[in-house]
Amino acid sequence: MITSVRLMLNKSRRLNNGSYPLVFQVIHERRKKLMYTGYHVEEGIFDELKEKVIYDKDSSFTATDVGKINRELRKMKHTIHERIYQLERTIASFTVEDVLAQYIHKNTRQQFYLLRYIDVQIERKKIQKKDGTAAAYKSTRSSLAKFLNGSDIRMSMIDSRLIRQYEDFLYHSRVTANTVSYYLRNLRTLYNHAMLDGYHSHGEYPFAKAQTRPAKTVKRALTRKNLQALANLELEGVPDLQFARDLYLFSFYAQGMAFVDIVLLKKADICNGVLIYSRHKSKQLIRIAVTPQMQELMDKYATEGEYVFPIINDKSSSEYKQYRLALGRINRHLKRIAVMVDITVPLTTYTTRHTWASLARDYGAPVSIISAGLGHTSEEMTRIYLREFDVSQLDKVNSMVTNLS
């Protein structure tokens, strides 16, 4: 009886991002079994006839990534064929389960032991250039390793009781409620990915009663007087502090633009006096009319390269690493500046978003335009509101709000 092995997309398990799990379909004696490879790709970059991932400049995979994935897939297929050849030589009759038993057993130890599975996911996110997610998984893994005293556990050992024990461990470690929910959300995401990768859970869903929703925190905004003091502060002799202050003001002028988006902002994002960019966090497309204050700061720090501000400038280091280093550095400088102008509200790159929204609300701007900034339950709600109004209204509001004269 001929045993067939075919690499294919499992189209019955479509992910939210539109990709599908890559699986090997093994058929023997009319019985079919799927073996998950651990990779997820979009339909447009998979060649069904050649059974390989193809490079597309618009996909999240680089040409190097595609080459690496295809080599790994060939190695997996070779292992399955070797197993079939071994069985044909030694056993008169075997099943499709026998074909995959050795490989699945070997692969399960690697993929469906919790810490080892997280390691695989971290590497996968790095390949996809999702460094922020990789860093989140890495910190969660470190926390879980402490909880487990450095030992690994089977994914099947994750149940509601273990989740409660992990939650208790985190609170005992004196972390905040939001940090607890952060780690639990990451663990839940990883567990869900494991199920998409072929892990079959038993019993009830372990996260049904877990506290994964972040607690509401008191949002603090700067006053108009604070902002004026910040804008008028003389920092000519201290360029590092001046740059930190100017980036803070640019964020405010640009409707509370996130620091990561400022770091990654490119000259190509600006055309005919309009700045259009995709938010790093949500991929939501944002349009902002460039105000005179914004233009002045962009001209002040004009660079020779593709980026608007001189932050990403080391080709030997990743964008994400340079962003993280800059974030820490800028926030330390802002802390010093706050003392200099008697600002009691914690001055960080994050407060500009709520400050802009609060001042816009004080000006009487409709909630449909600003959605009360960070006062809403989630930023997603803010984005829903922002999609529903005429952008010219926002340009007008932004011009009023950011006029500090």
H or E element that contains 88: helix 63-90
Residue 301 lies inside a defined structural domain of this protein = yes
Token pair 């930023």 is found at: 379
Can you read off the two tokens belonging to residue 392? 């010219």
Q: Please check whether residue 314 lies inside any domain of the structure.
A: yes
Using CA atoms, how far apart are residues 373 and 384, in angstroms rounded to an integer?
12
Q: Left if phi > 0, otherwise alpha if psi is -120 to 50, otherwise beta: which for 198? A: left
Same domain, 137 and 164: yes
Residues 283 and 182 in one domain: no
Judge whether 23 and 37 are in contact, CB under 8 Å. yes
Is residue 143 domain-resident? yes
Annotate 100-133 with three-state secondary structure.
Answer: HHHHHHHHHHHHCEHHHHHHHHHHHHHHCCCHHH
Q: Is the Cβ–Cβ distance between 258 and 281 less than 8 Å?
A: yes
Q: How many domains does the chain have?
A: 3
**Based on the domain organization, do 68 and 180 belong to the same domain?**
no
User: What is the full DSSP assignment across 272-310?
Assistant: TTEEEEE-TTT--EEEEEPPHHHHHHHHHT--SSSBSST
Cβ atoms 384, 370 nearer than 8 A: no
Shared domain for 371 and 259, answered yes or no, is yes
> 219 in a domain, yes or no?
no
pTM attached to this predicted model: 0.59
Q: Can you give the pLDDT at residue 170?
A: 93
Residues 252 and 182 in one domain: no
Query: Residue 126: which domain range?
Result: 115-196
Q: Are residues 243 and 390 in the same domain?
A: yes
Q: Is residue 88 part of a domain?
A: yes
Q: Of 83, 111, 139, which residue sits at a domain end?
A: 111
Enumerate long-range contacts of 89-95, CB under 8 Å, 24 or more apart: 94/28, 95/28, 95/29, 95/31
CB atoms within 10 A of CB 252: 26
Q: Out of 111, 138, 171, pick the residue that ends a domain.
A: 111
Give domain status of residue 370, yes or no: yes
Residue at 218 is within a domain: no
Pair 59, 129 in one domain: no
Length of the chain: 405
Radius of gyration for the chain, computed over Cα atoms and rounded to the nearest angstrom = 26
Same domain? 280 vs 373: yes
Indicate the Cα dihedral angle 49, 53, 57, 58, nearest 10°. Answer: 90
Residues 252 and 384 occupy one common structural domain: yes
Phi/psi at 213 (5° precision): -85, 130
Q: Say if residue 43 is in the same domain as residue 121.
A: no
Residues 158 and 306 in one domain: no
At 128, list the tokens.
């996809």
* CA distances (Å), origin 284, targets 160, 220, 273, 379: 35, 25, 20, 11
The answer to whether residues 106 and 124 belong to one domain is no
Residue 254, phi then psi, degrees to nearest 5: -95, 40
**Is 236 within a domain?**
yes
Q: For residue 344, give the CATH number of its domain.
A: 1.10.443.10
Q: What is the pLDDT along the chain (405 residues), one digit of tens a residue?
A: 688 999 999 988 887 778 888 989 999 888 888 888 878 889 999 999 999 999 988 877 788 888 888 998 998 888 888 888 877 877 767 778 777 765 554 444 444 789 888 988 888 788 777 888 899 999 999 999 999 988 888 888 899 999 999 999 999 998 888 899 999 999 999 998 888 777 777 778 999 888 777 766 555 778 889 999 999 999 988 999 999 999 999 999 998 898 999 999 999 999 999 998 887 776 777 888 899 999 999 999 998 889 999 999 877 778 888 999 999 999 999 999 999 999 988 899 988 887 887 788 777 777 666 653 333 335 555 443 333 344 555 676 777 778 877
End-of-domain residue from the set 91, 111, 131: 111
Neighbouring-strand partners of residue 287:
276
